[in-house]
Structure 1
Amino acid sequence: MSLTGFTFKIVTPERVVFESQVSQATLPTRMGEITVLPNHIPLVSSVIPGEIRIVDEQGREHLLAVAGGFVQVYPGKIVILADRSEMAHELDEARAAEAHERARKLLEAKTGMPDRDYAALKALMDKELARLKVARKYKERGIRTGDLK
């Protein structure tokens, strides 16, 4: 187990989105945002829609959007099994904004809907908002994300 880094891997049903040695990973969980550093204690948690920030061993920050899933932290390794995840450079800000707006309008139009339908629409809106925020942050800050894989 390295004192300066650990393996970070995020997997969706379609592909391995990212796998590399990193020095830090910050991710959204149901209990709040957590940052994993080398030698972190083992843990399992659910991941909610939001932004994942990774710092590689050269000190560069990389952004990903995640739609939810589970994380498991092992000695020297962190694995996220995600419903959906994309590197920031893969996101299309305009498409993310359109999808978020469609979900928001559906949610507003469905007054009196069953709780499960409301929850599904709210989850969709949260996922699209996460994608939109990551796309905008990437565009504004020019964070590099294409170098590692």
Structure 2
Amino acid sequence: MATLKVGLVSPEREVWAGEAKLVVAQTIEGQLGILPGHAPVLGVLLDGSVVTIEPADGSEKIRAMVGSGFFSIAGDEVSVLAEQAELAHEIDVADARRALEEALSAGDADTTAERRARARLLAAGADA
């Protein structure tokens, strides 16, 4: 079975790396599903979205909130380079809810904080 070599990184660390069957990322132009053999692509991640990775070994799907960034597909290698990234199990749901409430009450025209808080809750499997 063909697989993808995937790396999800932020400036602070390598968030996840391994072999995968499927990667789903939200770009500024729409959602993209990446399977082995995908054509080469360079894309811009939607700030405050969720990347889902289906590991090749059949283990539980990896879900991560990502801030702005890029991804590239070359051959069967996928690189997700995010300004900010948190795996689902690392997310403090109560903290994400507080961040969402603060962002909503601020009434700021810049919705970055709201999108990121909602993405954190979505990645963690909590209601936004």
TM-score, normalised by the number of residues in structure 1 = 0.79
Deviation at 1:36, TM superposition (A): 0.4
Judge conservation of contact 1:67–1:130 (CA < 8 Å) in 2: no
Q: Which 5+ residue runs of structure 2 have no aligned equivalent? A: none
- State how far apart, in whole Å, the 1-side matches of 2:101 and 2:2 are: 42
Structure having the larger proportion of residues in helix: 1
Structure having the larger proportion of residues in strand: 2
Q: Deviations over 1:83-129 (max 9, x none)?
A: 1001100001111011111011102xx5xxxxxxx23xx01111111
Q: Which residues of 2 match residues 1-149 of structure 1 at below 5 A?
A: 4-48=2-46, 49-60=48-59, 61-107=61-107, 110=108, 118-119=109-110, 122-137=111-126
TM-score, normalised by the number of residues in structure 2 = 0.91
CA RMSD of aligned residues (A): 1.5
Number of residues of Structure 1 aligned to a counterpart in Structure 2: 125
Identity of aligned residues (%): 26
Q: Deviations over 1:33-70 (max 9, x none)?
A: 10000010000110012111111112332211111211
Please tell me the residue identity of whatever aligns with 2:121: L
* Structure 1 runs of 4+ with >3 Å offset: none
Q: Which 5+ residue runs of structure 1 have no aligned equivalent? A: 111-117, 140-149
Q: Deviations over 1:5-59 (max 9, x none)?
A: 0111111110110111111000110111100000100001100121111111123
